[in-house]
């Protein structure tokens, strides 16, 4: 007999990510992440799978984490990044390692002072480009050698005893903390010759992951070399000559471009980005740029009203959202890419000449990591769905599932599958949503309901696995999750529809979702719950300050005050400009205050649990503290849950032991008010 899911089942899940197919199409490697040890910490290793036989085996055995596997173009080697703990409180080190597909032990290729990551093979399979940081006063000879234990002790002592100083506007990032004076640069290393790694880029600006030209002489990458970069929404694509290190901008400061891939003839770059028409709500598009200084780009997917890449969320996926890779056909007449459509993420192709887009792989699921063989005849993908945390599938004429990494635990569990719904939101718009009925659902009975609200807001719920929702269904609740206006995967107009209207028609869409679900006849409308994180946390705070229809609320990593958010968030000024118009606290105090839940906190009667992470720089802790303190002064039912050593990503990829603790505390709060 199957059992219901419990929070500790997170420890039993195996998470697959970063799937890569060998150029010949015979092998697939992927990263498998498990939770191990007394603290159930994440450990990642690379597994290899024979496509023909389906046999697989663990391929690397690093002490902590092996990731970012990349086949050499000739199929002879696999490069990957190994993360090791240095011990004695000295932190961790990441370096690039190599292993021969013919057999033998893996060996370390780089020994960079500040670590190395993102290996990218040169076309001749003899060299690798990679990223490593460089400080203002760092000497070359020191950069290419590992930091000594004494150096690490001195650096740690310096951090403890000297003030951190900046003159930059952008000086912190949620998952990185406070920025140092170091900048990410591109390096190249030969895999056999004893040449030292070569620093290909420099300057006080960060460089993105590079892409090799077919002739192996140039690299394309994203960045912004302007002295005013802090104040801009610009990301350019640059091309650098590996020998001379001279570079130039291809996109000519015309927008926000983040990823480039070379055409087979080396004359054109396929580029993902946009020209900031709707700020942060602008859909990512696919462009073609000639490899020339400040060239004129051609918008290839102009008639495709969806964004490039995956926007569907999950709480059981390493590294957050999927990749934004694009793949050229060998003939250079087609580009393959993924895009999200109505809560699913599919594979598409676009004809270079006509711009016509066709869907290749669809279904009520999410392809969150995709790779192809050199001939583009075989496709391999990591796939998730409502009841599938993630597995590897092969698409080559027919579809074949290659792995069943979680079959053991899935055989134990009774999971809730989703029922798709469509209802009328504000203005009569069609809004898509999903319902999970409680485990053991019986017709004729009425059940409590929990409304889930996603973050972003320009992301999406959909056909992916959420342990949080499965736990709520196991607890006996109806789970309602939906994509109100502002959600991605429905086109540009829908995506931008909540800008300058937070708490307006997006709020109406959510209330109409609840109304529709109640009309189905099996929801106890006296036992309604609401929860969400980030933007969803803001909406949770907003909802309980506007209506008393909910019996309980749980708000995660939320926003309560847009006036203070502007100055404390790592993205405060840019996000506020994007979502609310060009408002500042000193010029538009009333406008920002009027859309802040803090203004209406005295109207809150719903018992609310406030969950936040100590190191959250996206929605800093003060946002939770303000709301909690006000509610306590007003003697309202509330509880403050503060998780240590975690940031804005806690609910998705934070320490597993804290995620399980969060589940327990949330469920206890729901039980108190919903039964």
The catalytic residues are: 534, 648
Paired sense of beta strands 236-241 and 218-223, if any = antiparallel
> Both tokens of residue 625?
């503290």
Paired sense of beta strands 211-212 and 198-199, if any = unpaired
Beta-carbon-side half-sphere exposure of residue 86 (alpha carbons within 13 Å): 17
SS3 of 7-68: the string is HHHHHHCCEEEEEEECCCCCEEEEEEEEEECCCCEEEEEEEEEECCCCCEEECCCCCCEEEE
β partners of residue 93? 84
- Give the gyration radius of the chain's Cα atoms: 25
Q: d(Cα 292, Cα 86) in Å, to the nearest integer?
A: 45
Beta-carbon-side half-sphere exposure of residue 540 (alpha carbons within 13 Å): 33
Of the chain, the end-to-end C-alpha distance in Å amounts to 25
Burial class of residue 619 (count of CB atoms within 10 Å of its CB; 0-12, 13-18, 19+): buried
- DSSP letter for each residue of 426-444: GGG-EEEEEEEPPTT--TT
Q: d(Cα 330, Cα 214) in Å, to the nearest integer?
A: 11
Q: At what angle do helices 535-546 and 505-519 cross, to 10 degrees?
A: 70
Report how far apart, in Å, the C-alpha atoms of 388 and of each of 190, 271, 309, 465, 657 are.
41, 32, 20, 6, 22
Q: d(Cα 400, Cα 380) in Å, to the nearest integer?
A: 10
Whether the CB-CB separation of 439 and 4 falls below 8 Å is answered with: yes
- Say which residues have a Cβ less than 8 Å from residue 361's Cβ, sequence separation at least 6: 346, 347, 367, 379, 381, 395
Report how far apart, in Å, the C-alpha atoms of 541 and of each of 549, 553, 667 are.
13, 8, 19
CA 399 from centre of chain:
27
The kind and range of the H/E element at 152 are: helix 149-161
């Amino acid at each position: 007999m199957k059992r219901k899911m419990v929070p500790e089942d997170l420890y039993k899940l195996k998470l697959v990510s970063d799937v890569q197919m060998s150029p010949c199409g015979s092998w697939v490697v992927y990263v498998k992440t498990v939770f191990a040890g007394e603290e159930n910490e994440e450990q990642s290793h690379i597994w290899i799978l024979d496509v023909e036989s389906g046999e697989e085996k663990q391929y690397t055995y690093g002490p902590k984490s092996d990731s970012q596997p990349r086949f050499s173009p000739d199929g002879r080697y696999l490069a990957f990044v190994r993360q090791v703990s240095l011990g004695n409180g000295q932190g961790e080190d990441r370096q690039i390692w190599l292993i021969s597909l013919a057999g033998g032990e893996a060996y370390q290729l780089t020994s960079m002072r500040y670590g190395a990551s993102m290996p990218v093979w040169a076309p001749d399979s003899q060299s690798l480009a990679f990223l490593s940081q460089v400080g203002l006063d760092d000497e070359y000879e020191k950069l290419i050698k590992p930091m000594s234990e004494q150096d690490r002790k001195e650096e740690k002592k310096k951090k403890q005893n000297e003030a951190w100083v900046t003159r930059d506007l952008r000086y912190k990032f949620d998952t990185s903390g406070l920025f140092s004076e170091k900048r990410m640069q591109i390096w190249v290393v030969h895999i056999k010759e004893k040449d030292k790694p070569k620093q290909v880029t420099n300057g006080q600006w960060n460089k993105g992951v590079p892409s090799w030209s077919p002739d192996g002489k140039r690299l394309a990458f994203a960045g912004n070399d302007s002295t005013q970069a802090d104040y801009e929404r610009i990301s350019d694509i640059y091309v650098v000559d590996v020998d001379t290190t001279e570079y130039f901008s291809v996109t000519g400061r015309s927008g926000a471009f983040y990823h480039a891939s070379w055409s087979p003839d080396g004359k054109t770059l396929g580029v993902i980005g946009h020209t900031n028409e709707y700020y942060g709500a602008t859909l990512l598009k696919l462009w073609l740029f000639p490899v020339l200084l400040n060239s004129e780009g051609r918008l290839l997917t102009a008639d495709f009203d969806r964004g490039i890449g995956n926007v569907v969320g999950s709480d059981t996926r390493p590294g957050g959202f999927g990749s934004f890779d694009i793949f050229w056909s060998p003939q250079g007449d087609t580009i393959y890419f993924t895009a999200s459509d109505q809560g699913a993420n599919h594979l598409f192709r676009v004809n270079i000449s006509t711009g016509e887009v066709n869907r290749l792989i669809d279904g009520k699921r999410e392809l969150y990591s995709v790779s192809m063989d050199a001939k583009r005849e075989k496709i391999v993908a990591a796939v998730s769905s409502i009841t599938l945390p993630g597995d590897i599938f092969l698409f080559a004429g027919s579809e074949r599932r290659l792995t069943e990494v979680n079959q053991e635990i899935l055989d134990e569990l009774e999971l809730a599958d989703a029922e798709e719904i469509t209802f009328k939101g504000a203005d009569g718009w069609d809004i898509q949503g999903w319902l999970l009925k409680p485990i053991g659902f019986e017709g004729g009975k009425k059940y409590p309901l929990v409304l889930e609200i996603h973050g972003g807001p320009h992301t999406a719920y959909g056909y992916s696995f959420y342990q949080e929702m499965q736990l709520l269904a196991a607890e006996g609740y109806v789970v309602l999750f939906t994509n109100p206006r502002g959600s991605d995967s429905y086109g540009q107009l829908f995506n931008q529809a909540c800008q300058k209207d937070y708490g307006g028609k997006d709020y109406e869409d959510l209330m109409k979702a609840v109304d529709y679900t109640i009309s189905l006849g099996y929801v106890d409308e006296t036992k309604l719950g609401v929860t969400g994180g980030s933007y969803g946390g803001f909406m949770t705070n907003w909802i309980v300050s506007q209506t008393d229809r909910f019996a309980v609320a749980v708000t995660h990593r939320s926003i309560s005050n847009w006036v203070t958010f502007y100055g404390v968030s790592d993205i405060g000024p840019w996000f506020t400009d994007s979502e609310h118009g060009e408002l500042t606290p000193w010029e538009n105090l009333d406008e920002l205050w009027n859309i802040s839940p803090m203004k209406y906190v005295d109207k809150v009667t719903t018992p609310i649990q406030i969950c936040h992470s100590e190191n959250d720089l996206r929605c800093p802790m003060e946002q939770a503290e303000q709301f909690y303190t006000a509610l306590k002064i007003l003697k309202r039912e509330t509880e403050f849950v503060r998780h240590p050593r975690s940031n804005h990503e806690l609910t998705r990829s934070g320490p597993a032991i804290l995620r399980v603790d969060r589940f327990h505390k949330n469920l206890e709060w729901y039980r108190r008010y919903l039964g």
